[in-house]
Amino acid sequence: MNVPHCIFCRIARHEAPAYILCEDAHSLAFMDINPASPGHALVIAREHAVNIFDVSAPALAAVMATVQRVALAVNAAFLPDGLSIIQSNGPGAAQSVLHFHMHVLPRSFEDGLPINWLLRPGERRAIEAAADRIRAAL
């Protein structure tokens, strides 16, 4: 299903401009017009799904294959210090477009992007309790 007003659906239908990198039946990759770094690309599902909770398994698999293809190309083209693959769900995760997408984000040691966190050992009982809650939901 495509949503008429969704900008990513419009890009997938070639109704809105984009710097398209590659596409297949289930996914499409294009440059982010608000790049956090040079080479910042997006990979979307062609189907309209708001987030990871809604996207179909075939579309998710296609997106992941395209993410890997684009990541290899971005890595070869820009030779970054690292590369982040980011997928956000909902306002608490700063999802900016309500259409399932993944960021392929070249990183440098000096980029100052605030998406890294310091490693701090967790309390084992709290980790075990969290694992129990997740297993119960599976």
Q: Which residues are catalytic?
A: 101
How do beta strands 20-23 and 101-107 pair? unpaired
| Rama region for 45: left / alpha / beta (φ>0; ψ in -120 to 50; rest) | beta
| Rama region for 74: left / alpha / beta (φ>0; ψ in -120 to 50; rest) | alpha
How many H helices and E strands in the chain?
3, 5
